[in-house]
Chain A
Amino acid sequence: DAGVIQSPRHEVTEMGQEVTLRCKPISGHNSLFWYRQTMMRGLELLIYFNNNVPIDDSGMPEDRFSAKMPNASFSTLKIQPSEPRDSAVYFCASSSGISGNTIYFGEGSWLTVV
């Protein structure tokens, strides 16, 4: 299995621009997570999908952030408009169950907003 696949790996964008991050979970996994990692705040869960349905989006920082999962093999995280404080590494992760199942991370998308 190729693992969790994320794109782009690196993105530099100007403040105010729209950013779209993409994720393909491991085939057969029915849980998908978006995390944000920064030095100050560590690893934060932004949103969790189960069977393509958003279950918990309480970690989404504000209305500028949105996430979708149109099917079992694809998810997007969108930031519009982007701000410099959104600069971080965004990880997508997936697992095959709910409680007690290993979460596998993608390589991450390194976002810099200037």
Chain B
Amino acid sequence: GENVEQHPSTLSVQEGDSAVIKCTYSDSASNYFPWYKQELGKRPQLIIDIRSNVGEKKDQRIAVTLNKTAKHFSLHITETQPEDSAVYFCAASGSYQLTFGKGTKLSVIP
């Protein structure tokens, strides 16, 4: 089955700096790569996703890149703000099942 590795597990950045979270996956058949943000005590919520026919996607301060050859994808957050502090999960899917990474706890220091 699919295996998703996510790094780093924790990340601290100063407000205004950029944050990058990286994931690798094992199943070359995977073609859908969403990112979820989970605030403390809340549910995971989709923030951005990318499909295998696209190399990069951007939504305001958030961007995701995908390298299918290397089987890795990354989340980039620019101009970080305190409200970006949360746990971020990457996931990969080739069928019905989303396989999640272990999560990255992002702390944005004011």
Contact = CB atoms under 8 A, between A and B. Distances in A.
B93 A100 contact: yes
Contacts, number: 47
Interface in A69-89: none
A100 B32 contact: yes
A56 B43 contact: no
A109 B99 CA distance: 21
Contacts of B10: none
A45 B93 contact: no
Contacts of A99: 31-32, 93-96
A107 B46 contact: no
B80 to A, nearest CB: 23
Contacts of A55: 96
14 contacts: A42-B89, A42-B100, A42-B103, A43-B44, A43-B103, A45-B99, A48-B97, A91-B43, A99-B94, A99-B95, A102-B34, A103-B46, A105-B44, A107-B43
Interface of A: 31, 42-43, 45, 48, 50, 55-56, 91, 98-100, 102-108
